[in-house]
Chains A and B, each alone.
Chain A
């Protein structure tokens, strides 16, 4: 069964304290892996797409990496405005292109 697991469920960091969020996935084939940011009371906002193992994408303090079993979202020197829930989604290659499997997210709180 296709599955996506995110860890930890919640993470509290001090401003400037770097860390990583994990997204582990089990699919028979990967078309793409997506990271989203979701602020309270809002819809998910697209961050990155990764397609193959070894690929990396960066945006400001965020860097996403991909292996054959998991993806990491590295947050370098976070600021309070990085506080949000980060969602990971996988698009299996063995299903139609409409299918995305979402994890339950990591709630990140960055303290000033």
Chain B
């Protein structure tokens, strides 16, 4: 099992450019999440999905969009990148019931100049 994978690992964008971060999981988890991690702050939820075809806003959704067309994939899009979106982005997944620990991907380090 690969677990949770993310691409790319690193990316540098100029202000106003767009990009998509890809997340895939092979554990048949119902729930998937996108977080950002910034120095001195806990992981903050951007968007999440409770199943294929469904998405919802988390704590800090502005400037991001997501899609979950297949159960195993969760995409995070930045339409017009801003320097405030410089961060490390983590994708995670979990079951909806029972054991609900989250499994995280390796992260994407994004710099917006």
Contacts and interface: CB of A to CB of B under 8 A. Distances in A.
B90 interface: yes
A98 B101 contact: no
A99 B100 CA distance: 11
B99 interface: yes
B104 interface: yes
Contact of A43 (B42, B90, B99): B90
Contact of B104 (A45, A99, A103, A104): A45
Interface size class of chain B, counting residues whose CB lies under 8 Å from the partner chain: 20 to 34
Nearest to B99: A49
A46 B101 contact: yes
Given A43-B90, A98-B31, 19 more contacts: A34-B102, A43-B92, A43-B107, A44-B43, A44-B102, A45-B104, A46-B102, A49-B100, A87-B43, A89-B43, A97-B96, A97-B97, A98-B33, A98-B50, A100-B45, A100-B102, A101-B42, A102-B42, A104-B40
Interface of A: 4, 31-32, 34, 36, 41-46, 49, 87, 89, 91, 96-105
